[in-house]
Amino acid sequence: MIENLNPKQCWQLMQDNSSAVMVDVRTAIEHSFVGHPPGAVHIPWKEFPGMHLNESFIEQVEQSVPDKATPVLLLCRSGQRSVDAAKALEAEGYRHLVNIVEGFEGPLDENKHRGNLGGWRFHGLPWEQS
């Protein structure tokens, strides 16, 4: 089953469950330059150029999170790629998957800017840049 939780709910889940793992499925550029939550494991779902699927995604997650009962929280820019990644992990037997709705940057506003209507940073949760 895939849960959809907002960033604040995910932060609380991680505070309450030390075994929970956040997987940042964004590209390397997004993870490094836009920022990421501290401790998030970076495993891109798709990568530049061309946004091609990371053929090693499942294997890389299995290396970082071998216990398929571990809560895995999936983060992308706005909560879309993370849904696809969660579905792929569910098909591989992961049982506690959480899609972080709003993602790191949130939805586009009327000016096509992210970060003003929602997202991890918008809610003031911990983050850092490389």
The answer to whether 88 and 39 are in contact (CB under 8 A) is no
Q: Please state whether beta strands 72-75 and 52-53 pair in parallel, antiparallel, or not at all (unpaired).
A: unpaired
Give the pLDDT score at 50. 87
For the whole model, what pTM was predicted?
0.95
d(CA 95, CA 91): 9
The answer to whether 89 and 64 are in contact (CB under 8 A) is no
pLDDT tens digits, 71-104: 999 999 988 899 999 999 999 999 999 999 999 9
Here the tokens at position 18 are 């030390």
Residue 66, Cβ neighbours under 10 Å: how many? 8
pLDDT tens digits, 53-62: 999 999 999 9
**Domains present along the chain, CATH in parentheses:** 2-100 (3.40.250.10)
Give the pLDDT score at 13. 97
pLDDT tens digits, 109-129: 999 999 999 999 999 999 999
Average pLDDT across the chain, whole number: 95
